[in-house]
Amino acid sequence: MFLPGDVLEPAPQSCVDEPGSPLCAADVCRGVTRLLFRHDLFAMGEVPLDGGRRADLMALDAHGRLVIVEVKVSRADLLGDGKWPDYLDHCDRFFWAVPAGFDLSPLDGPAFLPERTGIIVADRYDAAIVREARSEPLPAHVRKRCTLAFARRAARRLVAERDPELATF
């Protein structure tokens, strides 16, 4: 979700760090971000995409490949999400990320493109890939546009963190 040296944003009040408390999206994002970091992918959260969509997590690897991770913490949210196929036009690989104990069976259905999409199971501290995502390389002009947008957004967030007044210009 962040570049090295950035500070992880605090979890919303609904996320409590007590044994047995339900995980929220911020918890899952934190665990997934740690997994991605260990695999040399640097992620950023809440990334706007062309067309008005917003990726929960977007990551970039050392070869310039883009990964989008869509986080779901409830079955209703998963089953009601009709916008996610739009994300496939902005990444080489796409993963669903869910908390441990989440029913994965809907993700095996044809509506969720199991032959293309991966699954990550996460908690507050870590995550594991339980189904790898197939890589579908982006066209060069799309990769360039998406990568530049990602890099500029990351730089803007870093500048805003270092100098919040500058972000208002």
- The pLDDT tens digits of the residues spanning 36-94 come to 999 999 999 999 998 889 999 999 999 999 999 999 999 999 999 889 999 999 999 99
**E-assigned strand segments in the chain:** 42-48, 54-60, 66-71, 93-99, 118-122, 127-131
Instruction: Give percent of the chain above pLDDT 70.
Output: 85
What six digits make up the tokens of 14? 């609904």
What six digits make up the tokens of 23? 């995980």
User: Which pLDDT score is estimated for 41?
Assistant: 97
Query: DSSP alpha helices (H): ranges in the chain?
Result: 25-38, 75-80, 140-162
pTM of this prediction?
A: 0.84
User: Which pLDDT score is estimated for 33?
Assistant: 97
- Output the CA–CA distances (angstroms, integers) from residue 33 to 49, 50, 72, 79, in the order listed: 19, 23, 15, 24
